[in-house]
Amino acid sequence: MKKKEEEFPGVNFMNRFWVAILVICIMYIIFFVEFPK
C-alpha cells in the first residue's frame, strides 16, 4: 500500500480531496436537517 501511494501521490491527494468534500457536504446536510431556519 505504501509503495502504491508513493507511485501515485496525485491520485492519493485527489481521493483525500473528494473525501473532504463529501464530509463537508454531509455536515451541511446534517446541520440544515437538525437546525432548520
pLDDT tens track of the chain, all 37 residues?
Answer: 566 656 666 677 788 899 999 999 999 999 999 886 6
Question: Tell me, what's the pLDDT at 4?
Answer: 60
* Rounded Cα distance, 25 and 9, in Å: 24
One DSSP character per residue, 1-20 reads -HHHHHH-HHHHHHHHHHHH
Question: Tell me, what's the pLDDT at 15?
Answer: 86
Half-sphere exposure of 18 (CA within 13 A, CB side): 5
Q: Which three cell numbers stand for residue 13?
A: 491527494
Q: Which three cell numbers stand for residue 20?
A: 473532504
Global pTM reads 0.52
Q: What are phi and psi of 36, to 5 degrees?
A: -70, 150
